Structure 1
């Protein structure tokens, strides 16, 4: 090849690299912030600031978080929403709204209103003495006003319009409310209760839309019948996944997808996506070694059979040495490594439309 041809090819490669990098940067700018509603799967520490026992702001929680800090996240490290934020070239962790140490400049790039123990049903939040979804939406209204004061109305409106809104909620309505407490179960069959919850999910998305949300992701339920606590409390088949619970999750997900489709037809200018997590977690549980895991039946904390939240802290000395080998960190919540796998799944499927 002649030198002029080599030079031409060299500059062509540089040009391609330049435009590829520019495209990546442009894609990163498509989402201004990650704004989160939900339960302990996405609570970044809001429960630290309310009177509830549902907290994770003590060891061994956070043992693999940056600096080994127990932020209030119910895991050994980061959550799905943290990995999603990072993927959009935003901060590597999403701040908790109630944490007074964060400035409005930090909250402008992402904020979590989530509360561990809450659900779509207001009764679920009452049982755990945590923040109901309705109050999370009220905090969002307050947040919008703070943004306008801190960043100016024009910039605030742009942040709100271009933000990615994530809902991750619903499991507690079954494992904290419907199955263990004989109240909703006397009012609804499991199938009827799913439909009731989907109505509440639909209403919450519409409320967020009315407040300015346009890019919205609603996360489906994982197979919560396979969490260690469900296995431990499975009286029919001790140690095995509770298939009744898993069937409820499947029905919930099917109705949620139908609701998302209807929302897209009803909400002008909005794009609502359903994030499927059931299959990836099921695949991990079925073949853990394929994903580098060694233990699917126990959480890393304590005996791993029933410990979560404050009980997890009581048995800190029993916590495993390497949480990356465990699918779950405590008896309910995934390990950071599992959250990363789920985040990658969501980013490569549901969220591609926003990339």
Structure 2
């Protein structure tokens, strides 16, 4: 913007020299060349990032001072156009309206008055016969009034900018706060959802969620024809553990079984606490023999674990496994697995019984 403004004023100066409104010996090449060179220096400083360390990274004040000095020099060569040329000062002041505080606008206005009054005083000393006091006073008064208007409007615009920045900062803070609340709500919803489908003691899926999933898996098996197996697992003599070692020991047994099952079963297997010391596993992949081997590993892993007493003790499990058929519903599949579990317990516990 500054370069564009200088080129326009330069063109107007050349026209003024041609039609006699400027002194013929006006050194326009020197004046505008030096000004544009100064602007090139400002541009390089800004582009290099060095100006970012200063309070005025756009170098508004130095750029305005260069423009004011140029205008003052042009006024010296401007014959009868001085009154009109004074308005170019306001072009330079416009650059500070949106960037400078009211205090800096006052200082820049003082710099304009200092330059203009200095020019007037120098011309009065050099050629008093060419000066008319009323005209000099009129020019100074017009310039002063214009500068006062710029100081007032500039300060008002600056205040509006600051209020706008404060409002934007407040809106950004509110947005961040709302985003934090949204994240907290999502976390809370996730926790509530997890609580709704998880058993609080073991962290496994609860019976309600399992019954929803088994209906989905049976429907999927009916469409795809993939094998489906269900195992009911019961911890042997669990009531005796509670009676002999206390309910805290019983809770520890349930948690230990859940952790052992998570480490032993496959990721595709759906494990849930069915109720009390009973657990249920839905195997959505694999043949019957594969399922039996997985459950056998789980049985052995649990039986080898020693619980601290006093006295120390171990726990075994019994399991009944049923394979799904096309005519099965969730209830009939669970019923057949329960019958197999009953046979395992009736046969002495700590074993697996499978039915087709």
Question: Who wins on radius of gyration, i.e. which is larger?
Answer: 2
The answer, yes or no, to whether TM exceeds 0.5 is no
**TM value normalised by structure 2:** 0.28
Higher share in helix? 2
**TM value normalised by structure 1:** 0.28
Between the two structures, name the one with larger relative contact order (CA 8 Å, sep ≥ 6).
1
